[in-house]
Structure 1
């Protein structure tokens, strides 16, 4: 989906500010691990030595590019000039509205931090003894006071593991309320998430698999990510396997089987030889797993094939273009991702007009053209919006005319993945429907296809399952972008000589072939529709 705001450029969810010698190897290390385990992208400064008098540009950039900062105010925090400068930058970002600040008072009294008393007062007084610090000390005091006045956590008399769990849960909830709206243009996401959450039955202690299926570019991965972020705090172990089908093709099944438990258990060097021990550990954990873009049943069989592998209350979310894959694996709860309606598509495109300051009349005209072309597919709206709205009126009109004869390759590449997963007979059926039979009566078309030896009943079923076609009033229907993709596959067979293509549907090409007597040495189909 499309980025919508400057905050979309942020690289980190959380920046951790702490005094190394106090908490690096205990509390902060455990907190960092817990944040990462929940998929929270966290910056931690690994340089144990504080060098120089001014914090580095890289550290400043990390603070500025974080959605929130967690400040671990330990006993020796104020004794570090470096950390105090870091805190001033954090407060500056907070004041500008760029991030939230969450203080943790680690074995210190919040009032001592706020009023510069006790060990904090002594540390600040020592800084004042150095004439080089005179101008900075008041700024440091102000920053400490402002952070100490924020709502945070007092670690005194608290169970540390429970405290860390509470902090992580709070961070996840805050990220949910900000990052979904700030980092992505998630139009219409709330209703979709509510429906999927109903399918997930989170209140149940049973093991459950839920599918999200639909055509390429419809937003399945985006939806799965939003759900994952919202509910992951309710599970003991979580992992999001993005584009797992592509990983299978690139790395093979054995590597995938090794990678899977390592990522789920957050142990990169997991010893796969002790498989029994790994299964026992997973069996005791309530896990959340997202397998994104599953295109082969072997993935489900080998990674999540048995519900006894995971603890009670575990949930597996599967995104796929193939409905049959879900049904064959016994996934009975699934949600079909929906295309945008006109109003949602208009809302999705609106940030582009603001970004490029397009006049209202031009925006309305261009939006209407783009929405008509994309027909509710978020991927197409994103791709077209990202470059058409940056052009002049004359340029985007020219580009739209070009799209009528030459489809956008970024869109085509995504859609073509579904076609590539078909067998030869299914591919022929798909290309025939794309070139000739869209909108035709299903029974009439099946009779023709069976005459060609294409086994139309199972072939059409496969195309429906892979979200390439639908049946409406017994007519074969296909999204215009998918039809374009099919026709482009045929056109690529011979760009310069239409007579060498397997199918002809454009009247000028047909006329040209017949006139020049092409195709004598090659069998091809010509339909006059």
Structure 2
């Protein structure tokens, strides 16, 4: 089946083996059932099939939305519901306006089509049930995809679950040849035996066939001959899920060393999908760290290990990596201790209506290596953290800057940091001494919420003229952050730019809502993009 990439959802250019099930769902199951579940292990095409269904019928409903990887949307029930609403379309046009308690009333009694992709948590199932119950219209339809059939059954007796099978030999061969030998119906005669062995070794898994085909394209035949052996070595692995992981990891193993690092960065954290870091920021960072960031990313795209999608809602580009590949990357990162992200983690048990419910944070740090449940997760490369009164209680501190002194000294591998300080408490010690930040930072987004100063110069003892607040807040010192490529300073009380020229790699500087900005250098030896808001 040839499909062109089109709005609203991107699908692969070539899809095989789903025509019969797609027709059955569109002509029968969607008519007879309010909930449809697509179930099987990762890599068999659940998300692709759900997108095909969505593209075919979304226009029949007044409201529609497709939530990819719902399991990765954090927050309370209301917060997730808000994110779902932000991705809602009405007659093909994004809904607009601020989100409020009355927004969901617009869909009550109206035809609604919602897809939750990659459901792993009972609470997301319950949220979908709540949306369906509040909507109340029998003509509305809901699709969920996931690996756990029992989890999908939590939608209730109304759900019809469609298990996806792996591809039959003919379809598997067609998909592989499409990618490995573009424009050909079959491989050259001398290549057919080894091509058959590779297809057989992929065991009908579309994602594995796709990756192997693109990886082996244009490779010499002696290179191909090693692959069936490697695939067979995965066979003794117990369990389909683990076997899929083992086969897909072969693609990672063939990457050059630098591309491996970039793959692990993308797999290990979602920081580039959300504000404040964009794809352009990531490319600038990788170019600074590794050199030729765009070319190296292109290698990952050519091998289908990552793709760049465009979000129609916020008009941003972001990285997309298949959930299975993301899991592989995170697993490799933990084993090699090369890359891991850290952010606040709230458990669903604490996200009830009680505003005083305790929030669980992944603290404390232990020699820059994070441990959780006795398991070592690896050195922190990316971190999104908000220092609040709750996190101060976790640390047993009354000063936010004391917490940062404790944390930063242990983060010797960190490159990407999104930091927000939401408390104004500062001890006498920190009022008179600057708090240095890690010199490994490459991308840094800092929001002090009018609770602190920033210095890019001498740091300790810096005087901010005519500002009494500087005597009651702490100061973060960036003088040693010579690896910085992008720096965002948001709502800082005072900013001292006297040492800006020392940040020789800095390419972009944003200063938003800050108070006094002083000591601006009179000249630069390099180009620097500056934005003030």
> How high is the TM-score relative to the length of structure 2?
0.41
Higher helix share: 1
Q: Which has the higher contact order (CA 8 A, sep 6+)?
A: 1
Higher strand share: 2
> How high is the TM-score relative to the length of structure 1?
0.41
